[in-house]
């Protein structure tokens, strides 16, 4: 090459090598800094040119490598494209030192600058990495060097020809040597510049001494002695290839770049002095071509080997990371290889999958994955086989089997893997344990079924109340009529009276059953009030008594219990659940030897106490601490959900109480319920707002007849019930019926006087609440005379209304004696009001 023209220019920042970082730095640099960097680049360019001239053949400016081209490209990549003027100045100065004509100087400077700028722009465009740790990066570096060198090789020799410095016949050989020299300059100098930073620590530090020593020894043996054309010297030169590969494989791109640069310098220096196998006397260009090929192959081989090893190391690291991640994930991962169509063999299973199916990895690897599926899942097997046949993804819930035969439900995601982009070579299946979710879903379904039964019971109870009410009232009327015959009545009358009394007892039992259902199925926000636990036990006992009789006898022990503030329905639910648990702990068949005992009393702490004790098999010590855990149960799948005791404990805790269990295996179990006493204890029995009327009626003498005839208005949308109450009351009072609120208010507005108003709470159109509010506004004297009748208050509005009024509330079906007593009590209250009014009027007179 003609060293004067061969001034390859600096190349611009290339892709990821600078990634805009150097551009941003150049743009933000102060002029002083930019000038300093430009001068430094010019200086390095001149030094590299001087070294290249020193390595040129004696009495010639021809050299195989132009180092300044590598300095130019590396400088622009590191400092930014804005430093191109430094390349131009450096190339021009080198040409001037060689006493080139001004036209040649300009051509060389422009060609060298374009060479560096075009190469840098290309590397930046393809996002080449400064680390040169990918094969594509090395390939693009070679392409950028070759393309940029074309600029310099085209303009430099052409300027020499035009100026008459170079004969036209020598233009092609000169352009070829120029291009090769600039290309090799980039391959030898640019990589060390890009990789010039703090080296990484190498584990085998001895190699850092042995490798350079071996390289120096071989280079001396090959290039330090005059042996032109020697076959043994040529063979010895091949020892440099494994040394270069050693440097690339052990020390990466940096080692490859430095090793190639050293070997090239040794080869060029020896050849330029007429030493080594590449010197050919009298045929300088041909000898240079062979030397250039040796240097180029050595440099490219080393860089490519280092990049390939770096890529492989990164791939191995990624694979190790993925493998570690897959092993550590909580979801099970199964990888299967497709060895032939439809036939899979497991090649990998992570720890989570092994734990899920209870097998070791050695048992899974090599086995067909279908062996894990439960035998009964024929449908899922068909879906899986179809997905494998069609090579598509599949998401399904499958049952996996453990060695002990138990099943585990898994949510499986099956995905095909196309390693070569076309054929499916593997399938990856991820398994997520959804056993607990499946059990939860089943238990929630059971809980919803129980809730639906409770809602149905509440509705059925409400519907039964109306016909039961007029049935009871009609039976009471018939009984009174038949009883009027006295002892002298015929036998058939006495028989009829006995039948009526039997029917009354049946109706009373139905009434109690309906009331118990309403207590335990009451919906909505539970109302809070004073609750007497002694009064709450009998309804719960009546619900379970029919199922308890074949198992055990029931013993009730009632003691003094302080009233508690709470929800009658929720506390009743707890008692009912404890009784059911006690009943289920005792097998059927020997009721005489077993018993369920319910005790009430007051604990030493002053808390209300209820104990439910059974003589069943007891609770094992290892199970006892877990009986209050949600979804924990020792019963079969059809007997319990594992929610009962957990809900009971939660209810008691919300009431500020405690629920404890004590058991001795083989001797039964005792559940103790403790509730704090209410802050204020009333004198009478504690009842809910819905039972105020019934309790008041119970206090009156059930056999007492009214002492004053009053005028009673019955408001009920059920004509038969209104008629039954009229028949019961008519012997003692004047009764008027109305089938709706509007009809009743019309009578009041018409001036009809009434002493008592029996009003149904729930009616279509205008209900009892609306009637009451209209009376407050239009006939306030009747407000205190209203007695409500309800089949069960369920809406929050009705419950809130009943909490704010003091009027009696009779719960359907109303017992006849309670109805008569309530009317009598209301009439007595009216008489007292009238008496107070008369006294007040007299005093005023």
Strand partners of residue 556: 598
pLDDT on residue 263: 85
Nearest 10 degrees: CA dihedral of 176, 180, 183, 188? -170
Q: How far apart are CA 303 and CA 632, in angstroms?
A: 66
Is the pLDDT reported for residue 522 higher than 60?
A: no
DSSP β-bridge partners for residue 411: 397, 432
The backbone region for 792, taken as left when phi is positive above 0, alpha when psi lies in -120 to 50, beta otherwise, is left
More confident residue, 837 or 719: 719
What per-residue string of b and e applies to 22-49 under the rule 16 or more CB within 10 Å gives b?
bbebbeebeeeebeebbeebbebbbebb
pLDDT in tens, 234-270: 677 778 888 888 888 888 888 888 888 888 888 887 7
Which alpha helices (H) appear in 706-790, and where do they start and end?
719-729, 741-749, 768-778
pLDDT (tens digit, 9 = 90+) per residue, 428-471? Answer: 888 888 887 777 766 665 555 555 555 556 556 666 766 776 67
Give me the pLDDT at residue 603, please: 93
- Give the residue carrying structure tokens 């300027």: 159
Give me the pLDDT at residue 504, please: 64
For 300-309, what is the mean pLDDT? 87
| Contact partners, residue 713, CB within 8 Å, separation at least 6 | 736, 737, 738, 744, 747, 748, 752, 754, 756, 757, 758
Whether 645 shows a pLDDT value over 60: the answer reads yes
- What is the rounded distance in angstroms from the CA atom of residue 231 to the CA atom of residue 233? 5
pLDDT at site 755: 93
**Mean pLDDT (the chain, rounded):** 78
- Residue 517: its pLDDT value, please? 60
Model pLDDT, residue 567: 83
- The answer to whether residue 9 scores a pLDDT higher than 50 is no
**What average pLDDT does range 595-619 have in this prediction?**
92
At 475 the pLDDT is 72
Range ranked top by mean pLDDT from 483-497, 542-556, 658-672: 658-672
Task: Mean pLDDT check: name the lowest of 107-111, 587-591, 658-662.
Answer: 587-591
* pLDDT higher than threshold 70 for residue 163: yes
Of 612, 583, 608, the C-alpha closest to 597 is: 612
φ, ψ for residue 623 (rounded to 5)?
-95, -30
More confident residue, 640 or 168: 168
- What does the pLDDT look like over 692-725, one tens digit per residue? 434 333 333 334 445 678 999 999 988 878 888 8
Cis ω on the peptide bond leading into residue 813 (within 30° of 0)? yes
CA–CA separation, 258 and 260 (whole Å): 5
Q: Give the β-pairing of 809-811 and 786-790.
A: parallel
Nearest to 188 by CA among 287, 105, 92, 266: 266
What percentage of the chain's residues is helix, strand, coil (to nearest 5)?
Answer: 60, 15, 30
Question: Is pLDDT above 60 for 573?
Answer: yes
Question: Are the CB atoms for 786 and 807 separated by under 8 Å?
Answer: yes
**Across residues 67-87, what is the average pLDDT?**
90
Tokens representing 387 are 């997905």
Residue range 266-289: mean pLDDT, rounded: 69
């Amino acid at each position: 090459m003609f060293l004067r023209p061969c001034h390859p220019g600096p190349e611009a920042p290339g892709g990821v090598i600078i990634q805009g970082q150097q551009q941003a730095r150049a743009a933000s640099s102060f002029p002083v800094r930019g000038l300093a960097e430009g001068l430094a680049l010019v200086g390095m360019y001149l030094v590299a040119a001087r070294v290249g001239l020193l390595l040129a053949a004696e009495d010639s400016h021809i050299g195989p490598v132009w180092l300044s081209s590598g300095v130019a490209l590396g400088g622009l990549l590191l400092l930014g494209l804005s430093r191109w003027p430094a390349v131009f100045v450096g190339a021009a100065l080198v040409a001037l030192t060689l006493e080139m004509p001004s036209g040649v100087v300009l051509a060389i400077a422009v060609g060298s600058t374009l060479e560096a700028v075009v190469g840098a722009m290309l590397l930046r465009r393809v996002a080449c990495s400064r680390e040169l740790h990918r094969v594509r990066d090395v390939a693009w570096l070679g392409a950028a060097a070759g393309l940029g060198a074309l600029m310099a090789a085209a303009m430099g020799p052409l300027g020499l020809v035009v100026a008459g410095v170079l004969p036209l016949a020598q233009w092609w050989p000169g352009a070829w040597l120029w291009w090769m020299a600039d290309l090799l300059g980039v391959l030898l100098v640019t990589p060390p510049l890009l990789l010039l930073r703090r080296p990484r620590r190498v584990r085998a530090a001895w190699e850092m001494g042995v490798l350079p020593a071996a390289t120096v020894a071989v280079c001396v043996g090959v290039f330090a002695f005059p042996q032109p054309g020697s076959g043994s010297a040529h063979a010895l030169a091949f020892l440099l290839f494994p040394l270069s590969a050693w440097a690339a494989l052990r020390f990466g791109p940096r080692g490859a770049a430095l090793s190639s640069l050293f070997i090239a310098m040794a080869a060029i220096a020896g050849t330029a002095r007429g030493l080594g196998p590449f010197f050919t006397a009298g045929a300088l260009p041909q000898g240079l071509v062979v030397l250039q090929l040796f240097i180029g192959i050595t440099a490219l081989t080393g860089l490519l080997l280092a990049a390939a090893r770096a890529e492989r190391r990164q791939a191995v690291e990624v694979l190790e990371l993925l493998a570690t991640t897959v092993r550590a994930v909580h979801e099970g991962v199964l990888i299967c290889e497709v060895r032939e169509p439809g036939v899979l063999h497991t090649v990998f299973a992570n720890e989570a999958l092994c734990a899920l199916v209870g097998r070791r990895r050695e048992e899974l690897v090599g086995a067909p994955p279908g062996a894990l599926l439960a035998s009964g899942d024929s449908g899922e097997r068909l879906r899986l086989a179809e997905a494998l046949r069609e090579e598509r993804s599949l998401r399904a819930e499958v049952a996996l089997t453990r060695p002990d035969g138990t099943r585990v439900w898994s949510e499986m995601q099956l995905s095909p893997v196309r390693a070569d982009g076309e054929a499916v070579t593997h399938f990856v299946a991820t398994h997520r344990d959804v056993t607990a979710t499946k059990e939860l879903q089943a238990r929630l379904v059971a809980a919803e079924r129980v809730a639906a039964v409770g809602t149905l019971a509440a509705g059925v109870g409400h519907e039964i109340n109306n016909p039961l009410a007029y049935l009871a009232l009609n039976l009471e009327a018939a009984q009174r009529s038949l009883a009027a015959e006295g002892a002298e009545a015929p036998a058939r009358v006495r028989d009829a009276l006995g039948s009526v009394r039997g029917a009354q007892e049946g109706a009373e039992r139905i009434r109690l059953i309906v009331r118990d259902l309403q207590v335990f199925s009451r919906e909505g926000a539970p109302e809070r009030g004073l609750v007497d636990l002694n009064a709450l036990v009998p309804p719960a006992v009546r619900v379970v008594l029919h199922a308890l009789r074949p198992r055990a006898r029931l013993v009730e022990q009632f003691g003094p219990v302080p009233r508690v503030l709470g929800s009658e329905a929720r506390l009743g639910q707890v008692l009912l659940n404890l009784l059911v648990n006690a009943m289920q702990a005792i097998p059927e068949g020997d009721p005489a030897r077993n018993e369920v005992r319910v005790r009430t009393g007051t604990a030493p702490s002053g808390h209300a106490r209820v104990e439910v004790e059974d003589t069943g098999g007891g609770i094992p010590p290892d199970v006892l601490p877990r009986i209050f855990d949600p979804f924990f149960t020792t019963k079969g799948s059809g007997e319990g959900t594992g929610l009962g005791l957990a809900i009971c404990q939660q209810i008691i805790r919300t009431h500020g109480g405690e629920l404890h269990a004590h058991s001795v295996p083989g001797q039964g179990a005792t559940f103790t319920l403790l509730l704090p006493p209410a802050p204020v204890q009333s004198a009478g029995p504690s009842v809910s707002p819905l039972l105020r009327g019934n309790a008041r009626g119970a206090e009156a003498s059930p056999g007492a007849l009214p002492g004053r005839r009053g005028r009673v208005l019955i408001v009920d949308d059920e004509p038969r019930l209104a008629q039954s109450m009229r028949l019961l009351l008519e012997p003692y009072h004047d009764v008027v019926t109305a089938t709706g609120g509007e009809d009743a208010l019309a009578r009041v507005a018409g001036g009809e006087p009434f002493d008592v108003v029996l009003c149904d709470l729930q009616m279509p159109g205008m209900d009892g609440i609306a009637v009451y509010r209209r009376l407050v506004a239009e006939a306030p004297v009747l407000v205190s005379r209203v007695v409500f009748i309800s089949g069960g208050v369920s809406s929050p509005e009705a419950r809130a209304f009943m909490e704010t009024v003091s009027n009696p509330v009779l719960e359907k079906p109303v017992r006849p004696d309670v109805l008569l007593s309530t009317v009598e009590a209301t009439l007595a209250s009216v008489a007292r009001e009238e008496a107070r009014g008369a006294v007040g009027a007299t005093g005023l007179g």
